Every structure is written in C-alpha cells, then in structure tokens.
Structure 1
C-alpha cells in the first residue's frame, strides 16, 4: 500500500493529466471514432459481450486545461451485445459501420451504430473460408468511396471484400500457410502484413501478389511471436521476448536498429502484444502486452543497432493504482495514442481498468 501511495504522489510530477475508469468487462479493443470517442468490446468466452461507444469526458476533449468540468467520466453513447468474444474491432471511416472478428466461428460480423437511438446492432456477416477453431481473422479497412475489408487467418486466405456487395476484389492467390498476426492498410491500394514468425510484407493490390518482404524471421527471435506497425519513421516490429526492430520499408531484410526492451519475462499472452507509433510525435512509439505496464520509447535514443533500450516513460498505473501486488498485477490488453493530443494514451488491462494518461517528457525538466 505504501508503494501505491508513493506512486500517487509521484504521479503529480509524471503526468500532465490522468484518469482511471472501470469497464463492466475487460477489453482488447480501443478503436477511435474521430478524437472524442472510442469503441470497446468484451472478449470473455461463453457469454454475451458488450460493444460500447464511449465518449471521452469533456476535460479530455478540450485543447487546453480550462479548469473543472461537471462530467469527469466516460459516457456511454451507444451499446450492443455480441454472442462471441470480440478480439478485434474496426470502425469504417465516414460511416456508422463496424467490423468485428473473434471466436468461436471463423467469420466477421458487420455492425451499425444507430443514428436515432443508442443501439449498436448486427446487420450482416462476412464469410471466412479458413475453419481453424483456435484461430481468428485479422482485419483492416480500406477507406474509400466503396470501403473494403482486408482479412485473413493465414497468407493463403488473405483477401479484400467489398463491404457493400461482399464480393471479393483481391486475393493473395498463394498456398502459403504462414499465420498472420497483424494487417495494416497504408493507402488506397497498399497494405502491410506481419506474420507470427516475424515475416513482414508490403503489398500493392493493383498488382498480382508480389510483396516486398523479409521472408526469413528476424534474427535472434528464438521462436517468439511477432507483431508490427508501420509509421512515419519506418516499421516497428516487436517480438514476444522483448526484441524490438526498426526497419526501413525500402529494405526489409536489414533492420536499421534492433534492441532489447527491458521486460522481466516473455509475454504471457503474445496475442496481446502491441507496438504503436505516436501520431503526433515523430520519434516515439509505445509497447505493451508483457505485464501491467506500457513503455514509451524514443527511437532516436537507440545508439547503434544492438543493446538494451531504456524507455523514455513507463506507465505503471495498472499495477499501483488499485494496490495490486506485482505478482498479482493485471496484464495490459491494449493501448492506443490519442489522434490529436501528442502525449495522451489510453490503456486497458485484464482487470477491466481503463486509463487515460498524458505523460510528461522527463527531458523537459532537465
């Protein structure tokens, strides 16, 4: 308890702003709609799980701190129920549609956020041909006049489906059985994939399948599972053992940097690994999925291509705020950067806690 009290005092220096909330159930989803609301969804098995559209407290929606506001909690704007676990949720930009993926059942579900009520209702499903009981499709959205859903369990089943007609507009057309860990749309005709082995690829859908890729897994992975995200500084690829690589999209076979993040042990659930680039800070990224913390790194601080990477900032609130002992602390299930506030992040954990925090750059006070 003393450690928690010390952290609360220290947090006054560490954070510009900090809010803690409790959801009705843990979530693996934090999907932005514009910059004032997020979607969350439960992932428990054998029960109905809530899908909620939450609006941020007014204090978090203004550009500057303007004193006290009457609403200091998230507000439920819309809600619905899923009859299965929701492992991924994507909002289709400029529409009221959502696409979810999860288990059981290898298919995607399309939802609509009502305009004249507070209901989120299921409107259709998208069939997925892979029928592997323990695996679920990764999802990304092509945002255009006719939105498309990019999805796949393995490279062999990777395809783009027109959301309105549900006609397939692109397929990989290969027999490659590599399991996917993440998909990311990069432009009107391009996307990136990451396989659990660490294999990365950049694809142009205007051409027959011929990705620019690093066919072999990253060196030193020791059989760990990988995830990745493309940002303005390149591709960040994260392994379940804490290895973090930075790659230039023009040369995926030779990492620009390869460092070891200070994690006490490999991720207990590699499905929850996340690496995300800060949209408002060119050099920063965040990682989670190893324990109850979120680490923020400045990639310009990495000297050379090997060695230990010390985080610029570590969010420990999910450990200490509720007085959890380190061996009983929850696992961070996901995190996301605020689209407009450069140092503001949201993070969720397996104890159903949801934190919004604006960290102070420790270098600013030097």
Structure 2
C-alpha cells in the first residue's frame, strides 16, 4: 500500500469530518464571516483574481447524526474580481464591507458585498505611502461604531484611518523603518504588531507611541523571518503571545514581559519555510492552550502547549494534517505548500486550510489522547 492509500485508510480514524474544495486559483486568505461562511481571494500576479464568499457544507452547521444532507459541498454565495494580487482581506464586522491589501501596494481597496445581488464590488481606496514596490501593507480592523483600518508596511508608517471619512485618527509618529509582518487588533484601543525580525509590541492608541515591546531575537539580518498572534482574552492561563520563525522556532511570551520568553521550542520542520510570507501561527479559540502552525510544507501542525517545559526543547505535534499532500495524487512529485489556515470560531477541533494547488480543506481532527 502506497503512502497516499495508507493516509486515506488512517484518515477514517484521524478525522471526525473532512471536506475538500478546489478554488479557481490558490488563496492566502481565509476570512470568517459569521461561523458558516468564509471569504477567499486569489493572489496570482498579472491577472484578475476572484474574491469569493463561500458557505461551508451544511453538514458542518448542524448537530451530529443528522443523516444524509443536501449541499455537502462548499457553495459560492457572492463573488467579485480584483485586478491586483490579494495578500490580505479583512471583513469589517457587522457590515458588508471588506478591506484588501496586495500588490501593487500603493493603496488598500474597500469592497462591498451588495445586498440585492451576488456581486462583491469595489467602492473606494485608501492611499498608502510606500515607495518600495515589492512591499505591501499589513491590515487589521478596529470594530466600533466608526470602524477604523489599521495598516502599515513599516513601524514608521503605521496609522489608523476612519473607514468612512478616511481621516487619520492615529499614527506611530516615529522614524523606525522596521518592516512589519503582522498586525492584530486586540480591543477598542489596543493592537499588537510583529516585525519580520521578531520584534513584538503592544500599542495603546489612547496614548502617544510608547509600545510595550520586545527586542528582536535576531540581531542582524540573517536570523529568519517571524510572525505572531496574541490569544484572545479569557482563553485560559499561561502565556498568550505565540511567535513563529521561518526556521521552525516557536516562542511563547507573557504580554507583561515580552523580553523573556516563557517557552522557546523547536518544531520538527524538515527545512526552513520556502516562503516566509506564508508563515502562520494561530491560537484555537475554543480549546485551551492549543495552537496551529503552517507555511513550511504541505501540512498543518497542531500543538498542545501545556506539555512544553523549559527552553530550546524539541516538541512533537498533537496532530498533523497531511491531506494537502495526499489528496488528488499529490503524494507523487512536488507537494503543495499550505498558504494559510484558520480555526472555526465555534467548533473546537475544526480548521480550514488552503494550499498552493488551489485546494481548500475543512477538517475536524480527532484527539487520539481522548480515545486511548
């Protein structure tokens, strides 16, 4: 039996549920709208890329043991086209608006999901003053009565722009040229940033720029690229900042002391990420102390961080999703690279993942420890 057949047989034990879907083109975007829909968008250069609002298979929206159900596949609810590559897309909560970022990166684009049709249409742009054509702005959304768009390529050009008036309501006001890898809004007044060097910071927009931050773990320029995510409040005790490097290093930090990692471990990746822009680390919203990483190969690795102790140890994943490698004949030849993943907002062990072969999987993994 070849590896693909082995995996298919083993998958009956590994997954509670599994669905696969092929997109018109590969995506780096999996953005939730509610808990039954997700936005995706293509990122190919020099072509029109589709932006789609997909509804998840009906089976994932009902209780267990419902028997055979219609619409067991993904369903396209709305769609539109972008003349640019879409590297990031954020839905503005409680609205029909989306904000996208990509290349060329001299502006952000605002889209609207039309109410009386199935069209996603461009409605406005937000100027970005970045001179390097190869860089694109990172984006996050402040959700409030007057939503704001947080964006920046470097620390020096970080700003918050009112989505309706397009007036700037906050700027970093510094000359620091460190390049950003991710931005994350934490609440109505604070956000987190991560630089490609691994430098982390927490910012309160009610004050002038004075972030609580760490120094870079990579002095100089040869230490890999980093991304990070902060766990939502109320998701259990312990460190709540996870920072991932392109060489497989993963650090857990307490936001009260970002300079001294609580844990620093090495994930068992066979080689550094071939495209560090695709690195992703995410906390599970409905499981205490679980996170997932991707961007190294065709897999998504799930970890339980409660088993980690000390620094510089090697850790093994709790679960590995290999479906992008073995489905559709990908067990032979060059395996696709996972481009992004996200946890379902309400189902504890359900994730979505996308890969460079334009596949999207939604999978509910089984915790084999519970069945021992």
Given the alignment, which residue of 283, 291, 300 partners 1:294? 300
Please tell me whether the aligned partners of residues 105 and 137 of structure 2 are also in contact (alpha carbons under 8 angstroms): no
Task: Show CA shifts across 1:253-299 (max 9, x none).
Answer: 00000000000000000000000000000110000000000000000
Cα distance in 2 for residues equivalent to 1:67 and 1:193 = 45
Match of 2:92 in 1: 92
Please tell me whether the aligned partners of residues 77 and 118 of structure 2 are also in contact (alpha carbons under 8 angstroms): yes
How do 1:190-339 residues align onto structure 2 when only pairs under 5 Å count?
190-217=190-217, 223-231=223-231, 232=235, 233-325=239-331, 328-339=334-345
Deviation at residue 304 of structure 1 after TM alignment: 1.8
Task: Show CA shifts across 1:183-231 (max 9, x none).
Answer: 0000000000000000000000000000000123268995100000000
Cα distance in 2 for residues equivalent to 1:273 and 1:215 = 20
Cα distance in 2 for residues equivalent to 1:12 and 1:71 = 22
| Inter-CA distance 224–37: structure 2 relative to 1 (3 Å threshold) | same
| Inter-CA distance 42–353: structure 2 relative to 1 (3 Å threshold) | same
Please tell me whether the aligned partners of residues 221 and 241 of structure 1 are also in contact (alpha carbons under 8 angstroms): no
Match of 1:139 in 2: 139
Unaligned runs of at least 5 residues, structure 1: none
Aligned residues: 366
Cα distance in 2 for residues equivalent to 1:31 and 1:241 = 26
Q: Secondary structure at the match of 1:307?
A: strand
Say if 2:8 is the partner of 1:3.
no
Task: Show CA shifts across 1:5-33 (max 9, x none).
Answer: 11111000000001111111100000000
Cα distance in 2 for residues equivalent to 1:93 and 1:65 = 32
Say if 2:54 is the partner of 1:54.
yes
Deviation at residue 79 of structure 1 after TM alignment: 0.3
Deviation at residue 155 of structure 1 after TM alignment: 0.2
Match of 1:28 in 2: 28
Mean Cα displacement is larger for which, 232-241 or 245-254?
232-241
Match of 1:180 in 2: 180
Unaligned runs of at least 5 residues, structure 2: none
Question: Which 4+ stretches in 1 moved above 6 angstroms?
Answer: none
Please tell me whether the aligned partners of residues 150 and 159 of structure 2 are also in contact (alpha carbons under 8 angstroms): yes
Mean Cα displacement is larger for which, 302-311 or 203-212?
302-311
| Inter-CA distance 333–76: structure 2 relative to 1 (3 Å threshold) | same
TM-score by length of 2: 0.96
TM-score by length of 1: 0.98
Match of 1:355 in 2: 361
Cα distance in 2 for residues equivalent to 1:314 and 1:220 = 33
Please tell me whether the aligned partners of residues 287 and 295 of structure 1 are also in contact (alpha carbons under 8 angstroms): yes
Match of 2:162 in 1: 162
Cα distance in 2 for residues equivalent to 1:312 and 1:306 = 18
